[in-house]
A = this chain, B = another copy of it.
C-alpha cells in the first residue's frame, strides 16, 4: 500500500462536487481542541454564515456531524414521537427515504406522490391534510437529487401553516445553488449536505430549526431516540453553555466555514445566477447533442443538477465509464425508474463554471460520436447562452 494519489476528477455527478483550493487549505489547517477558544470562534462564524445561506434568523442553525442523511434523520427524530401523523411528498429516492426515516420514529406516514421527474401538486397535500387526524409535520424535498426536479415550496408551506403542521424541507442539493428561503417560505426544519452547492467535501449536514420546531422539541414527552442526533444536547454545545456532547469534526468544520465564507464573498444572488446561467448553457449544449431534459417544465428544472434522457442506442454506463477513464469526468447514472436511461449532470458550487461545462460538452460529444450518433455543435450553443448573459 502506497501513499494516496487520487486523480483530479471533474466532479459533475449528483455530488460530491469539486472543492475550492481555499477549502482544501482549511481542511489541512492544524486542528485544535473542540473546546478551544479558536474553535468556538469558528463555530460562531459558521452559525452566522449558515443563517445567511439558509436565509433565516433561526438561532438553532448548526452543522450536524454526519452527512446529509444524518441531517434528515436529525430533523425527523427530534420532533416526531410514536403515533405522530406525517405527510410526506414522494417523487424520487429522497422522498422515499424520508418515509423510511419517519416510520422508524414510529410515525404514521401519509405519502403524497407524483411521478418521478414531476413536481408534486400542492392540492394533494391539501387533501392529505384535510383527511385523517391532525398532522404534526409536512415534509417535502426541494431538490430531488434522483430526478432533477425543483419543487416549489410556497403553496405547500402555506398549507402546512394553515393546518398547524411543522414544515420540513430537504435542501441537500439546493442550499447555496438555489434560493431556499427558510424564513420567507415558513420552513420549520431544513437540512442540507456540504458536498453539493456548498462546495465542501461530504461529512457535515447543516440544519436549521424555527422557534416552532424548537418548541416541539422542548415539549416532547419521550427522549429523542437517537443520542447522537439529539438536538437538545447538541444545541447546548453550539450555544452559550458549551456543554460537551461529542467531539466535533474539527477539520470538516474548518472546511465548511471556508466554503461558507466563499459563498458570502460571492453573494447569494450572484451564486444562484451563476448556477442558473451555467445550467442553461449546459442544457442548450446537451439538446444540440440530441439529449432531451427529463424535467419538461423549464421552471421546475433544478439549476445545480440537470437530468437528461439517454438515447436508446447509447449504452449509458459505457459512456460514463469512458468519461471517467479517458477524461477524468464523473457524471451520475439514473436511479429508480431512470436507471439505465438517464444521466444526472451536476454543476454545483465550485464546479459550476464555463470552463467545466465546456470541457464536459466537448468530452461528451466525442463519446457520443463514438457510439455512432451524429452529435455536434454543443459547445457553440452553450457559448451563445453564456454570451447572451
Residues of A within 8 A of B (CB): 1, 3-9, 11, 13, 15-16, 18-19, 22, 24-34, 36, 38-39, 42, 45, 49, 65-70, 72-73, 97, 100-101, 103-105, 193, 195, 201-203, 223-229, 245-252, 254-255, 257-258, 261, 264, 324, 330
8 contacts between A and B (CB under 8 A): A1-B49, A7-B38, A9-B32, A24-B28, A36-B324, A201-B251, A225-B225, A225-B226
Contact in complex: A27, B251 (CB < 8 Å): yes
Closest-CB distance, A309 to chain B (whole angstroms): 21
Query: Chain B's nearest CB lies how many Å from the CB of A323?
Result: 12
Would you call the interface of chain A mostly helix, strand, loop, or mixed? loop
* With known contacts A226-B73, A258-B4, A247–B67 Cβ distance under 8 A: yes
Give A255 to B4 CA distance when docked, in angstroms. 9
A67 touches B246 (CB 8 A): yes
Q: How far is the CA of A206 from the CA of B254 in the complex (A)?
A: 22
Residues A251 and B203 in contact, CB atoms below 8 Å apart: yes
Copies of this protein chain in the complex? 2
User: Contact: B16 with A33, CB < 8 Å?
Assistant: yes
**List of B residues within 8 angstroms of A226 by Cβ:** 73, 104, 225-226
Verify A45–B1 contact, CB threshold 8 A: yes
- Cα distance A361–B280 in the bound complex, in angstroms: 63
User: Which 4 pairs across A and B sit closest by C-beta, in order of nearness?
Assistant: A203-B249, A28-B28, A201-B251, A69-B246
Q: Which chain B residues border A33 with CB–CB below 8 Å?
A: 9, 11, 13, 16, 330
CA distance A284 to B246 in the complex (A): 31
> Distance (Å) between the CB of A233 and the closest chain B CB?
10
With A9-B30, A31-B19 already in contact, the answer to whether A68 and B264 are too (CB < 8 A) is: no
Please name all residues of chain B whose beta carbon is closer than 8 Å to the beta carbon of A257 when the two chains form the complex: 4
- Residue in A4, A30, A65, A201 whose Cβ sees the most chain B Cβ within 10 Å: A4
Q: Which B residues touch A29, using CB under 8 A?
A: 4-6
Q: Cβ of A251: which chain B residues have Cβ within 8 Å of it?
A: 27, 201, 203, 251-252, 255
